[in-house]
Structure 1
Amino acid sequence: MTVSVVKAALALAGCAALVPTAAAAQAYQCALPARIEVPPIRMDGPARPLPVTGYTLALSWSPEFCRTREDDRRSARQCSGRAGRFGFVLHGLWPDSGRGWPQWCAPSTPPAASLRANLCISPSPTLLARQWAKHGSCMTRRPRTYFRVSRILYAGLRWPDFTRLSREPGLTAGTIRTRFADANPGWFEEAIGVHLNERGWLEELRLCYDRRFMPRPCDRSRRGASDRTGVRIWRGL
């Protein structure tokens, strides 16, 4: 399973590489620490080793997350500005199942080097370690494979200009889906989840994949806001 997972992710990333560079990734900087400590992770629920039928790539809009956390020590790397500024960051890569979310299949401590390699897309060692233990262990036996596939999928994405998009009058979730699909050939609106907080601000995108890491329609829980729902995007200013 490990080899096929990596090959499928590489194939999808190869298709994304054909996209013109004008739609390339966001211009945010990131500085890696010389070393990190691997935090301990506690299970918050039962083990569910269910068969994997697809995946979700959850991408959090960092300016909204950091809106009230600039002075929070636990979020300092992501929100203080000292390690760089972030746009969309990887919340997690989650295996799906038709019978619920697989979780805590074989949790273990990931190597520090694997966490450090992903800190520019997921700026929290605690988040990374937890995502591996809770979700990644249901996808592969090797944490390095999980983090490598996460990087491949993230690096293969192309981003519309969300700062410009935030200024559009009458912005809706459907507009966000259309712009993202236009920037990423092979993607379509039904495979893009748009999640808002209770005040209507953009909080997260959830991209839905099948077992071969090809886009597939999201179910209701992952799709989030309807196309006609109005959206506001916090720019972090």
Structure 2
Amino acid sequence: MLKQVQHDELGVGCALIALILLLFPVAAQAQSYQCRIDGALPTSPRISRPADQPVRVRPIDGFVLALSWSPEYCKGREDDSRAATQCGALDNRDREHRRIGDFGFVLHGLWPETRGSDYPQWCAPVRPLAPAIVRRNLCMMPSARLINRQWAKHGRCLTDNPGTYFRISRVLFDAVRFPDMDRLSRERDLTIGAFRKAFAAANDGLNADMIRLSVNSRGWLREVRLCLARNYRPRACPAHLQRNKDSRRLNIWRGY
């Protein structure tokens, strides 16, 4: 039974309020993007555990909040029907293959961590999520498949209530403030170290050593990953989370 980090509503609320107060700067600037959901939603798929990914039930020591840079993800996926709600054409008359908004950072997931690299995953079978849960979170995670997969692979290791998992994820995501990505994308000789410092500077209580980046082989930003303690407060990233060299050049795709 998965009860090691079961959260009641009061406990979750207190922890999240503390995190917001910690991360919310006086002159905060939230991410600016537009998202509108109209018409029928994509059907929630049934997510099956891949054969090469074992069930791992582990004590939870902390979390990673993974923030995907949508312009980079969508590069080359404009005609991929599986990514239509995030990457498709805004003016597509086919609602099932139309993008629902303009996105900067979106939430990839909230990932429970353990001490070491053997993180918990696929802790118990789940059913496809109710349409109301998908609709509530689709502007934060613009893919019904992604929402269902994150619940199946990661969320079920935290709680048996998907509403609780996505509520925690949404408040954490909303608490983060982002640097001026357009300005940073135009900087010549931008480095990973400079980006991490800029991201930390936008969030009171966040230091560069609490941030990890995922970049592709050509040095383009894919994700920002924030390391959180078990109480959801930012913490220094554990040693097993690989860190790119601060001196490495970083490129940011703007989407045009």
User: TM-score normalised by the shorter chain: which range applies?
Assistant: over 0.9
The 8 Å contact of residues 174 and 227 in structure 1, kept in 2 or not, is answered as yes
Amino acid in the other structure paired with 1:27: S
Total equivalences in the alignment: 235
Worse overlay, 98-107 or 184-193: 98-107
Q: 1:33 to 1:224 in 2, by over 3 A?
A: farther
Report if aligned partners of 2:12, 2:168 keep a CA contact under 8 Å in 1.
yes
Distance of aligned partners of 1:175 and 1:111 in 2 relative to their CA distance in 1, 3 Å threshold: same
2:69 corresponds to which residue?
61
TM-score, normalised to structure 2, is 0.87
* Paired position in structure 2 for 1:102: 120
Identify the match of residue 16 of structure 2 among 9, 12, 16.
9
Match of 1:119 among 138, 141, 144: 138
How much has 1:46 moved relative to structure 2? 2.1
Question: What SS does structure 2 have at the residue aligned with 1:219?
Answer: coil
Could you list the per-position Cα deviations for residues 63-103 of structure 1 after superposition, in whole angstroms to 9, with x for gaps in the alignment?
00111011111111101142111101111100000141101
| Distance in 1 (alpha carbons) for counterparts of 2:131 and 2:242 | 33
Q: Residue in 1 aligned with 2:29? A: 24
Counterpart residue number, 2:223: 204
Contact 1:19 1:183 in 2 (8 A): no
Q: Secondary structure at the match of 1:146?
A: helix
Matched, 1:79 2:87: yes
Match of 1:90 in 2: 107
Once superposed, which parts of structure 1, at least 4 consecutive aligned residues long, lie more than 6 Å away? Answer: none
Question: Aligned equivalents of 1:194 and 1:138: distance in 2?
Answer: 24
Shift of 1:39: 1.1
1:111-167 residue CA offsets vs partner (Å, 9 max, x unmatched)? 221121111111001001010011001111100000000100000011111111111
CA contact (8 A) 2:25 2:203 kept: no
Q: Which amino acid aligns with 2:249?
A: G
Q: How far apart, CA to CA, are the structure 1 residues paired with 2:81 and 2:40?
A: 18
Cα offsets for 1:20-54 (capped at 9, x unmatched): 2xx32222100124443221100122211100000
Q: Report the counterpart of residue 40 of structure 1 in structure 2.
A: 46
**Deviation at residue 6 of structure 1 after TM alignment:** 4.2
CA RMSD across the alignment: 1.5
2:57 is matched with 49
Q: 1:195 aligns to what?
A: 214
Distance between the aligned counterparts of 1:12 and 1:138, measured in 2? 21
Give secondary structure in 2 for the equivalent of 1:91. Answer: strand
After TM superposition, the score normalised by the length of structure 1 is: 0.94
Q: What secondary structure is seen at the aligned counterpart in 2 of 1:203?
A: strand
CA distance, structure 1, for counterparts of residue 195 and residue 89 of structure 2:
26
Cα distance 1:223–1:192, how it changes in 2: closer, same or farther (>3 A)? Answer: farther
**1:130-209 paired onto structure 2 within 5 Å:** 130-209=149-228
Amino acid paired to 1:26: Q
Structure 1 residue ranges without an equivalent (≥5): none
